[in-house]
Amino acid sequence: MYSNPIRLINIIILVLTLAGCAARPAVLPDEVPPMHSVGEFSDDENVSRTRDPWEGFNRSMYKFNYEADRFVLLPVVAGYETAVPRFARTGVSNFFVNIREVRTLYNCILQAKGKKSLATLGRFLTNSTIGIGGLFDPATAFGWRRENEDFDRTLETWGVGTGPYLVLPILGPNTARSAGGLAVDGGVRWAIANAIDPFGGTGIRTEIETGTTALETVDLRYRESFRYFDSDYPFEYYMVRYLFSQERELKILR
């Protein structure tokens, strides 16, 4: 998501500033009794593909992410929903999804997926032109399904193992391999942006890039339905880890 560490620091500072303008903290669901046991999500049979040797660190990150979500991201998202009309929010989402078509395109090429590469290129060109820079999504209306490939999937295609489970700050559940994939995709995006340099002549390039990345961060959280549940029941960490593993396996099969 983030092109480099310095920008991430800038984004965190900006989001914290925005959070101070939010009307109230996000409301989380009320506590309910656990419907599952810890063992259901932590026994060897269910999580045989989800090694978690860094559980102590991951639990700390899980708690950090919950606090960041509750006191920063969700209040900002609530303010975003209040201040920005739905049609504009849809346009923002379409714009950033269109940018991520580039990531899908080069990863499809690296994975030797010819049909997906052509479909993704067609989507990107159509939405960038007829869709006015990606604000609209006519490609979907034309029947071109959006693909979603990243360097994690590319590494998987090349036979690289997933590695241990890893909870990243803000970004949440990952594996060692997917974390590496995020770094590569972020680096490629940074290189492309610097080669094109669309804001180079404005004199406020850093400010525009920081604001754009902050808006993308808010948009990603706005479109994500998951909400951390501060119930203090120990099974939640295992449940999230288990569901992440199952989701990953379903993506492999599709």
Per-residue pLDDT of the chain (254 residues; tens, 9 = 90+): 444 444 544 444 444 444 444 333 333 344 444 444 444 444 444 444 578 999 999 999 999 999 999 999 999 999 999 999 999 999 999 999 999 999 999 999 999 999 999 999 999 999 999 999 999 999 999 999 999 999 999 999 999 999 999 999 999 999 999 999 999 999 999 999 989 888 887 888 889 989 999 999 999 999 988 888 755 666 788 888 988 888 776 665 55
214 neighbors 17 (Cβ within 8 angstroms): no
Please list, in sequence order, all residues whose beta carbon lies within 8 angstroms of the beta carbon of residue 96, skipping any fewer than 6 positions away: 134, 216, 219, 220
C-alpha 105: how far from chain center: 17
pTM confidence score: 0.78
CA distance 166 to 181: 13
Domain ranges of the chain: 5-253
The length of the chain, given as a count of residues: 254
CA distance 151 to 174: 13
Residue (of 3, 14, 12, 4) closest to 211 by Cα position:
14
